Amino acid sequence: MTQYKVLPHTADLRILVEGASLEELFDRAGESLVSIVVDRRRIRKGRKKEALIEGEGIEDLFFNFLRWVHFQIFGEGFLIRSISGRLERGERIYRLKAWGESFHEGRHVLKSEVKAVTYHDLRVEKRKEGYAATFILDV
Amino acid sequence: MKFEGIELVKVNDYMWEIPKAGKMIVPGVVFSTRKMLQDIVKDDSLRQVMNVAHLPGIEKYSIAMPDIHRGYGFPIGGVAAMDMDRGVISPGGVGYDINCGCRLLRSNLELEDVEQQLDRLGAALFTNIPSGVGSTGKIRLGRTEERDVLSQGARWVVKQGFGSEEDLERTEDGGTFQGADPDVVSDKARKRGRDQLGTLGSGNHFLEIDLVEEIYNPDVADAFGLRGGQVVVQVHSGSRGFGYQVCDDFLGEMVKYMREKGLDLPDRQLACAHIQSPEGKRYLKALACAANYAWANRQVLSHFTRETFQQILQTGPAGLGMDLVYDCGHNIVKIEEHEVGGKEKKLLVHRKGSTRSLPAGRPELPPVYRDVGQPVLIPGDMGRSSYVLVGSENALNLSFGSTCHGAGRTMSRASAKKQFRKRDIRGELLKRGIRVFAAGRATLLEEISEAYKDVSEVVEVVHRLGIAEKVAKLKPLLVVKG
């Protein structure tokens, strides 16, 4: 289930995610954020959530999307097993569905606390094949 | 001389200037030895010092403390003072953990009083003080109580019977950041903060039982109630999920503000708003709420600590004498008067990973320390030592009354976990007389001494510069980690 790489960064966690399309990149990045915090294989797809994320440009949208995923975990206690979304209105909206369940002590073990997703050095880039994103988590 | 493409001009053995370049409004200044610079230049932190020098209204220079390391936007170990009218306030200049800081409790105990009880004390502290990822506290706040915590900070906690008036006298700003307005705080932040009061958190947060190993300045130590061989307790924690969310909310708002105002800065994480703008004023009110949450949190944590000591050592409060020495934050902004160009001027000082360091005579100090100077608490890593310093005059001349805040990482958490995965850290520390209680092995690997600079080197630099002076050195006996 490893979909991401941890790159060196002195204080925090720097994450690299790749995807064949921008949508796959977004979904994988969101799922990776969950995987960093909790064993995603233990999350059941009991509940579906829908959301509409807005941003000014692709990096802003990506940042706001990751902030949404982060708040689901640390604010709502909703752990996400999988995400599927699509870009709309150019690259200003991400409309998504997320499947998962509420945090259950006993079944889910939180591995690390992520304070926030940071905007610092956040990049979404087109590569020869597909897309790549790097972002830093404050842990 | 150039280090990794950044020009550094030596001012003296402990101070280096980064001359103005490009659109920098002021130069940068780094407090460090030449030896420590070799490590500092390895990450991106000096570039971040230069980036901060681009912020509108910044005065004199963008400052880097000797424990500087790469942050996001601001470096960790950075200080920036802004003109109140022209200047900006930046959530990145405070950090996610708003008013994260340290408090130190003294005691009447010596090693022989606790030696046989350390395992029991550690186990009880670990049980009584919720720590680790996603930990929730024993205190559930109703809507009204939540408002009181956000408006009054540690004062509200003391009113509930969890501490004394003396605790408040020995907390920076009396444990209440003035100007807090709970109405500007998002529901998201409230949600994240509701059940986390009285929790330690994870990562580098800790509770430690230490022994005063060395006294450098007996008179000041005496005024702080410290003596050689004494058992003391340090608490390092902050505003938990509440503060993280306040920072995140306002970072988002300020990115928009910058776009609207056409403010162009080298890093988006430096997002800021003018201090006098509606956005700037709202952030300051929300920051005050988070600062109050952090003080309330540390006040609750010290109450649990005192209770645990009473329970395990079967001694009353008077016998234990666990009075607060001081509580001060190191991720904060303060409005203070400092001299700029020969005139006293009101400034907004960002301290991101930097501790206030005020000499005797400053009006901000509580009466008990006004003739001595402010206690400055510098936690080290879990295997070496921590320091108690006192604020000194040169901090006003050189660093807007600021000094370092800790050891500072040199190695990423991921590298530390990978490189030291075979080490028995718990066993190694125990051999050196340090007991560790932690929820997981990962935290121990991440927090290993080798991942940090030597705090003694950091402290030596600020002592030599006179931006804080050494009073006492503490050696860990027992560490509770999240």
Q: What is the Cα–Cα distance from B271 to B290, expressed in whole angstroms?
A: 19
- Judged by phi (left if over 0) then psi (alpha if -120 to 50, else beta), residue B139 lies in beta
Question: What confidence tier does A1 reach under pLDDT thresholds 50, 70, 90?
Answer: low
N-terminal to C-terminal alpha carbon distance within chain B: 42
DSSP bridge pairs for A49: A98
A139 interaction partners in chain B (CB closer than 8 Å):
203, 413
pLDDT in tens, B140-186: 888 899 999 999 999 999 999 999 999 999 999 999 999 999 999 99
Contact criterion met (CB < 8 Å) for B201 and A64: no
- Kindly give the residue spans of alpha helices, DSSP state H, lying in B160-235: 165-169, 187-193, 218-224
Contact criterion met (CB < 8 Å) for A13 and B414: yes
Q: Is the CB of A9 inside 8 Å of chain B's CB atoms? A: yes
Q: Under a CB-based contact definition with an 8 Å cutoff, are residues B234 and B207 in contact?
A: yes
B 325-384 near A (Cβ less than 8 A): none
Contact criterion met (CB < 8 Å) for A110 and B133: yes
Name the residue of chain B whose CA is nearest to A67's CA: B248
Question: What confidence tier does A18 reach under pLDDT thresholds 50, 70, 90?
Answer: very high
Contact criterion met (CB < 8 Å) for B134 and A10: no
Q: Indicate which residue of B69, B205, B350, B405 is catalytic.
A: B405
A55 interaction partners in chain B (CB closer than 8 Å):
none
pLDDT in tens, B210-235: 999 999 999 999 999 999 999 999 99
Q: What is the Cα–Cα distance from B227 to B330, expressed in whole angstroms?
A: 25
In this complex, the residue of A8, A75, A119 whose CB is nearest that of residue B268 is A119
* HSE-CB for B424 with a 13 A CA cutoff: 5
In this complex, the residue of B73, B134, B247 whose CB is nearest that of residue A113 is B134
Question: 3-state class of A92 per DSSP?
Answer: coil
**Cα angle: B288, vertex B300, B103; to 5 degrees:** 75
The alpha-carbon gap from A6 to the nearest alpha carbon of chain B, in Å, equals: 7
The alpha-carbon gap from A41 to the nearest alpha carbon of chain B, in Å, equals: 19
Structure-token pair, residue B378: 């510098």
Burial (0-12, 13-18, 19+ Cβ within 10 Å), B269: buried
Provide ipTM, 2 decimals.
0.90
The alpha-carbon gap from A102 to the nearest alpha carbon of chain B, in Å, equals: 13
What pLDDT is stored for residue B258 in this prediction? 94
What pLDDT is stored for residue A19 in this prediction? 95
What pLDDT is stored for residue A2 in this prediction? 56
Q: Mean of the pLDDT values across residues A40-44?
A: 93
* B63 backbone dihedrals φ, ψ, rounded to 5°: -105, 140
Interface probe for B, chosen from A62, A103, A113 (most Cβ of B below 10 Å), is: A113
- Reported for B307-314, long-range contacts at CB under 8 A and 24+ positions apart, including other chains, are B307/B128, B308/B121, B308/B124, B308/B125, B308/B128, B308/B129, B309/B107, B309/B121, B311/B124, B312/B117, B312/B120, B312/B121, B312/B124, B313/B109, B313/B113, B313/B114, B313/B117, B313/B121
A 64-93 near B (Cβ less than 8 A): 64, 67, 71, 74-76
Active site residue B405: yes
A67 interaction partners in chain B (CB closer than 8 Å):
248, 252
In this complex, the residue of A111, A115, A121 whose CB is nearest that of residue B244 is A115
Residues of chain B whose pLDDT is less than 70? 134
pLDDT of residue A105 exceeding 90, the answer is no
User: What string of DSSP letters covers B222-238?
Assistant: HHHT--TTBEEEEEEE-
B188 interaction partners in chain A (CB closer than 8 Å):
71, 75
Contact criterion met (CB < 8 Å) for B192 and A75: yes
Which of B53, B74, B71, B54 lies closest to B62 in space, CA to CA?
A: B53
Contact criterion met (CB < 8 Å) for B412 and A11: yes
Q: Is the CB of B96 inside 8 Å of chain A's CB atoms? A: yes
Q: Mean of the pLDDT values across residues A80-98?
A: 95
Interface probe for B, chosen from A115, A117, A122, A135 (most Cβ of B below 10 Å), is: A115
Interface probe for B, chosen from A38, A54, A66, A119 (most Cβ of B below 10 Å), is: A119
Question: What confidence tier does A11 reach under pLDDT thresholds 50, 70, 90?
Answer: low
In this complex, the residue of A6, A64, A138 whose CB is nearest that of residue B72 is A138
Name the residue of chain B whose CA is nearest to A108's CA: B134
Contact criterion met (CB < 8 Å) for B72 and A13: no
Q: Under a CB-based contact definition with an 8 Å cutoff, are residues A28 and A19 in contact?
A: yes
What pLDDT is stored for residue A132 in this prediction? 97
Contact criterion met (CB < 8 Å) for B412 and A8: yes
In this complex, the residue of B92, B241, B440 whose CB is nearest that of residue A74 is B241
